[in-house]
Chain A
Amino acid sequence: MHGIITIFRKELEDHFSSTRFILLSALIIMVGVIITAMVGMSIQEELKGMTKPTLIFLFLFTSTGKLFSFVQFIAFFGPLIGIILGFDSINRERVSRTLSKIVSQPIYRDSIINAKFLAGVVVIAIVLIAIVLLISGLGIRLIGVVPGPEEAWRLIIYLIISILYIAFWLGISILFSVVFRSTATSALASLAVWIFFSFFVGLGAGFLADAIAPLPQSGAQVDPEVLIRHERIQRVTSLFSPMTLYSEATTTILDPMRKTTRSLILMGPMERLSLSRFQNPLPLLQSLFIVSPHIISIIAITFLCFGVCYFIFMRQEIRTI
């Protein structure tokens, strides 16, 4: 335990004093402020002279305004935060030969990797909490609505999911920093994985669906069975992307009007009926139930990723360290 605390403290110090952390937080804060300003003003405009709808506060995070919403921004940019914080965490010490020194001190070897991961997660949490608080503060001024307890809870759950999601990418980048000796290689490998899962899986899902259940050319009558199959394949495949998991989970949590993560085609008749009947927002617990598989999946891949990383690090020959 002692080793973890010492290394954890040093890692935190390193993160906070590093140029890349300052640049990163400056960028995020800038984008966050710009998004909020635009979204806040458009909400102000639209609601002039109207009674304010319920849970309007969350629109600050989900409304796309002219560019993109904050939620979309984090889904897209969050992985980069994780990667930047972790891509050189182990191999930097290997290159500077400090790792062999650290392992010859009286600490358990796993405290090195645990402390590094933990410090990264804490930095991620601090950045995210700060930015969400900043947006909330700006938003309160701009739209003049104070969030109620339910909105606050939804934001807290959103934060937890986001931290887990970015921690997954931190795990990926630490994994590469354990496997590769050069920091450039591990950075590029992490970026490659990020691009693959965030963009190509989405594209690939479409291709795969087209290949397995091809839709007839336009004009011809579409067999509903084929259409449903096509949709289903596309959906299942795209769920392999952590970005899809995260986006669906967070938009459902932050938008109480969303009652399902499925597209209209895949709904059964009863589901469609109930959707059109009940127009009120979902209670928080129900929103949570809808995306609980997503949340559990994100937790699972985060822990799996760190587990693999831990295992490889512990098994590595010290000579190669």
Chain B
Amino acid sequence: MEDHIVIETEELTKKYGHQIAVNRLNLKIYEGEIFGFLGPNGAGKTTTLLMFLGLTEPTSGKVRVIGYDPIREPLRIKEKVGYLPENVGFYEDMNARQNLQYVARLNRIPDDISSKRIDEWLKNVGLWNDAEKKVGNYSKGMRQRLGIAEVMIKEPKILFLDEPTIGLDPEGTNWMLDMIRTLSKEKKITIFLSSHLLDQVQRICDRVGIMIKGNLVAVGPIEELAKKKLGIDAEHYTLEEIYMKYFKEG
């Protein structure tokens, strides 16, 4: 199991002034899994993601992402990790293809390779017919699809998705969840997604971690957490019940 760990943190802590955003986080993410990182707004989910990418310096503790230290070698990590922030932004006056190409160039992908990948991913996310449209005219759902295409252009090993389904309509949400599942199964990509939409996480995640006020209060497969916390193992639980239980205690 040891060599299949792709992200490992040890007592990872981040403080903003006196406020503790992430408190002594110990977490292991295994290769190929879909990990759901749950918690209310402001629980420290995004901060944790930013520390994984080396965009924020931890106050103390250790992180290793695909074997690299994000503080020392952030570029190595950013080459292999796709990050889709919450409400991803695009250059509104450029079309989808130009946006993707810019990101591809920043990733040092030669134009002849990137144009093939761009075509492929525009088709995969269903934006082929809108590729020449300015992104300023895109709907929220289309932007999120373009976001997926954008992180996939560099063919990452790990995907960090920050609230990937927030603000999407039911159809868009279903599309996104299916996409995440497909990426995990077919491309063997490790997926780390943060969310507070519990029923959706429950549908796709192999394991979840529950974060409340900077503390990781529980990690494991959903069934296991249910057994531990609610004492039931039938299919009567929902993630929401487990979560609320933790939340009230926290």
B103 interface residue per 8 A CB criterion = yes
Chain B residues with Cβ below 8 Å from A102 are 106
A96 x B92 contact (CB < 8 A): yes
- B123 interface contact, C-beta 8 A: no
Residues in B neighbouring A10, C-beta threshold 8 A: 102
A104 touches B55 (CB 8 A): yes
B102 to chain A, nearest CB (A): 6
Q: Given the interface contacts A96-B89, A96-B92, A98-B91, does A105 sit within 8 Å of B56 by beta carbon?
A: no
A319 touches B90 (CB 8 A): no
Which residues 63-96 in B have Cβ within 8 Å of A in the complex?
A: 75-76, 78-79, 83, 85, 87-92
B202 partner residues in chain A, CB cutoff 8 A:
none
Q: Are A96 and B91 in contact (CB under 8 A)?
A: yes
Q: Which residues in window 132-175 of A have CB below 8 A to B?
A: none
Asked whether any CB of chain B lies closer than 8 Å to the CB of A286, the reply is no
Q: How far is the CA of A107 from the CA of B89 in the complex (A)?
A: 18
Give the distance in Å from the alpha carbon of A101 to the alpha carbon of B82 in the complex. 10
Residues in A19-39 with C-beta less than 8 Å from chain B: none
Per the bound structure, the CA–CA distance linking A161 and B163 in Å amounts to 50
**Cβ-defined contact, A103 with B87, below 8 A:** no
* Given A101-B88, A101-B103, A104-B83; A317-B108 close (CB under 8 Å): no
CB of A107 within 8 A of CB of B85, answer: no
Q: Which residues of B contact A105 (CB under 8 A)?
A: 78, 103, 106-107
CA distance A103 to B88 in the complex (A): 13
Cβ proximity bits A93-110 to B, threshold 8 Å, 1 near / 0 not = 100111111111111100
Known: A98-B91, A317-B56, A319-B56. A104 touches B105 (CB 8 A): no
Q: A3 an interface residue at 8 Å Cβ cutoff?
A: yes
Structural contact, B89 and A97, CB atoms closer than 8 A: yes
Give the nearest-CB partner of B21 in chain A: A319
Question: When the two chains form their complex, are residues B88 and A106 in contact, meaning their CB atoms are under 8 A apart?
Answer: no
* A6 close to B75 (CB less than 8 A): no
Chain B hits for A48, CB < 8 A: none
B131 proximal to A (CB < 8 A): no
Complex Cα gap A226–B8 (Å): 74
B218 adjacent to chain A (CB < 8 Å): no
Q: Does B47 belong to the interface (CB within 8 Å)?
A: yes
Q: B53 interface residue, CB < 8 Å from A? A: yes
Complex: how many Å from CA A26 to CA B46? 46
> Which B residue sits closest to A321, measured CB to CB?
B55
Check B103–A319 contact: CB distance below 8 A.
Answer: no
How many Å lie between the Cα of A168 and that of B156 in the bound state? 41
8 Å CB contact of B79 from A96, A98, A106, A108? A106
- Interface residue A318 (Cβ < 8 Å from any Cβ of B): yes
Q: Are A98 and B78 in contact (CB under 8 A)?
A: no
Closest to A10 in B: B102
- With A and B bound together, what is the CA distance between A104 and B87 in angstroms? 14
B-facing mask of A288-321, CB < 8 A → 1, else 0?
A: 0000000000000000000000000000011100
Q: In whole angstroms, what is the CA distance A292 to B87 when docked?
A: 52
A321 to B48: give the CA distance in the assembly, Å.
16
Q: Is the CB of B107 within 8 A of A104?
A: no
Residue of B nearest to A104 (CB): B83
Instruction: Tell me whether B102 and A6 are in contact (CB under 8 A).
Output: yes
Judge whether A277 is part of the interface by a CB distance below 8 angstroms. no
* B50 close to A (CB within 8 Å): yes
Whether A103 lies near B55 (C-beta < 8 A) is: yes
Complex interface: chain B residues within 8 A of A93 (CB): 89
| Partner of B108 from A2, A97, A100, A104 at Cβ < 8 Å | A2
* B87 contact from A6, A97, A99, A106, Cβ within 8 A: A97
Q: Are A319 and B47 in contact (CB under 8 A)?
A: yes
Q: How far is the CA of A107 from the CA of B109 in the complex (A)?
A: 13
A3 to B105, CA, bound (A): 8
Chain A residues closer than 8 Å to B47, beta-carbon distance: 319
Is the pair A101, B89 in contact by a Cβ cutoff of 8 Å?
Answer: yes
Task: Beyond A106-B106, A319-B47, list 10 extra A-B contacts (CB 8 Å).
Answer: A3-B106, A6-B105, A96-B89, A98-B89, A103-B55, A104-B53, A105-B107, A106-B75, A107-B106, A108-B75
Taking beta carbons and an 8 Å cutoff, which residues of B are in contact with A? 46-47, 50, 53, 55-56, 75-76, 78-79, 83, 85, 87-92, 102-103, 105-108, 150
A-B contact pairs, 18 of them (CB 8 A): A3-B106, A6-B102, A96-B89, A96-B90, A97-B89, A98-B91, A100-B89, A104-B55, A105-B103, A105-B106, A106-B75, A106-B106, A106-B107, A107-B75, A107-B78, A107-B106, A108-B75, A317-B56
